[in-house]
Copies of this chain bind each other. A is one copy, B any other.
Amino acid sequence: MDLNERKLKVLQAIIRDFVTTAEPVGSRTLSKKYDLGVSAATIRNEMSDLEDMGLLTHPHTSAGRVPSEKAYRLYVNEMMKKTELSPEQKDMIAGKLRENVAELDKTIEHAANILSEITNLTAFAMTPNQDQDTLKFIDLLPVDKRTVVLMIVSESGKVSNQALRMKSEYDEDALRILSKSMTYTYKGKTLSEALTLDIIKSFHTDIEAMNKLAQDIMPDFMKTLEDMLNVNLYMEGMTNIFNLPEYNDIERAKMFMEMLGKKEAFTKKLISRDDGLLITIGDENKDESMKDCSLITATYHIDGKMVGKLGVIGPTRMRYSEITSVIEYLTDNISNAFKLTGGNDDED
């Protein structure tokens, strides 16, 4: 059987229609909606042929046709034309991408965001494979008598750092020289190579001075400070709700997921809550989108003053007792772990 011009036209129309409506498309619909110049009966014949060729499927006898995967493949390979983006879309994309040029990760994150916004699908973006990235710069920063921050900068501009707790007090000058010698050793090596290398010692001398550099740096410094003011919100187990019978209703599940998806709003709500163990049930959460939920939050303390929150959200039907116990145990553990006084202590 030949895949002639008309068959292709019909197939394309079916794909186009199905992609927008998600409903199996019938011959009559097709002849009415798209100007194919032939009657529904003719289209039926063509459709039948296309089905024989494996390009269409039939959910059941009296349903319309649905494109098969083979049809999509054909469409993608041969028939598809590029859609030209609208100027607004281009502006939007270029604009958003330009926001954080200095930071690769941020840019990639923005890309995922843009993509999902435009396509209305789930989108993702992955940072580059760092295998090929080489080291550029290593530094060891004295923070504390026993704390050092290790910082590594790669050629691509990726910055990574980690706070280190030293076993004993260390010599600041030694630290400085060590970092120089490490940079000297690792510079230009890929991360993988660096992992197999051992350190070589070397020396260098410092000098000092100062100029109007401050004016250049202050805006960014301020911006960084502001970033640090933000709190992070980690969310886990969102899909757990699918196992609850009350969320068998797709509408409810959707509402729930969307409520949690609005991280800023949710974070705000958490921040505004009182400290200590707090349980709010159903309507007590003024929020309309939470009226069928209970929210349990508790606060933990870092060095006695700063507080963070953690908790649980679920249907009003929940194991309050068990859950509050877990939460209290968790907050206690965290508060203890971050007591300034503490060495590493306690239980088994």
With beta carbons under 8 angstroms apart, the residue of B129, B201, B323 that contacts A231 is: B129
C-alpha spacing A195/B163, complex, angstroms: 24
With beta carbons under 8 angstroms apart, the residue of B109, B192, B203, B321 that contacts A83 is: B321
CB of A211, distance to nearest CB on chain B (Å): 5
Which of A97, A122, A217 has the largest number of chain B CB atoms within 10 A?
A: A122
C-alpha spacing A84/B126, complex, angstroms: 42
Tell whether, in the assembled complex, residue A213 and residue B171 are in contact, meaning their CB atoms are under 8 Å apart: yes
> Who on chain B is nearest to A194 by CB?
B225
Tell whether, in the assembled complex, residue B82 and residue A321 are in contact, meaning their CB atoms are under 8 Å apart: yes
Q: Which of A128-170 contact B (CB under 8 A)?
A: 128-133, 136-144, 147-167, 170
Tell whether, in the assembled complex, residue B151 and residue A151 are in contact, meaning their CB atoms are under 8 Å apart: yes
In the complex, per-residue mask of A231-273: 1 if CB is within 8 Å of any chain B CB, else 0: 1111111111111111011100110011011000011001100
CB of A203, distance to nearest CB on chain B (Å): 7
CB of A225, distance to nearest CB on chain B (Å): 5
- A58 contacts chain B at the CB level, 8 A cutoff: no
Tell whether, in the assembled complex, residue B69 and residue A281 are in contact, meaning their CB atoms are under 8 Å apart: yes
C-alpha spacing A221/B163, complex, angstroms: 11
Tell whether, in the assembled complex, residue B220 and residue A162 are in contact, meaning their CB atoms are under 8 Å apart: yes
Tell whether, in the assembled complex, residue B326 and residue A97 are in contact, meaning their CB atoms are under 8 Å apart: no
Known A-B contacts A128-B231, A309-B125, A318-B19; the reply to A217 vs B141 at CB < 8 A is: no
A18 cross-chain contacts in B, Cβ below 8 A: 317
Total copies of the chain:
2
- A13 contacts chain B at the CB level, 8 A cutoff: no
> Who on chain B is nearest to A236 by CB?
B116
C-alpha spacing A81/B344, complex, angstroms: 32
Known A-B contacts A97-B334, A124-B313; the reply to A281 vs B108 at CB < 8 A is: no
In the complex, per-residue mask of A69-87: 1 if CB is within 8 Å of any chain B CB, else 0: 1001101100011111100
Tell whether, in the assembled complex, residue A220 and residue B164 are in contact, meaning their CB atoms are under 8 Å apart: yes
A112 cross-chain contacts in B, Cβ below 8 A: 234-236, 310
- A302 contacts chain B at the CB level, 8 A cutoff: yes
- A36 contacts chain B at the CB level, 8 A cutoff: no
A279 cross-chain contacts in B, Cβ below 8 A: 76
- A117 contacts chain B at the CB level, 8 A cutoff: yes
C-alpha spacing A254/B244, complex, angstroms: 11
- A7 contacts chain B at the CB level, 8 A cutoff: no
CB of A163, distance to nearest CB on chain B (Å): 5
The 9 closest A-B pairs by CB, nearest first: A116-B237, A125-B310, A128-B308, A116-B236, A121-B314, A242-B254, A128-B306, A177-B210, A69-B282
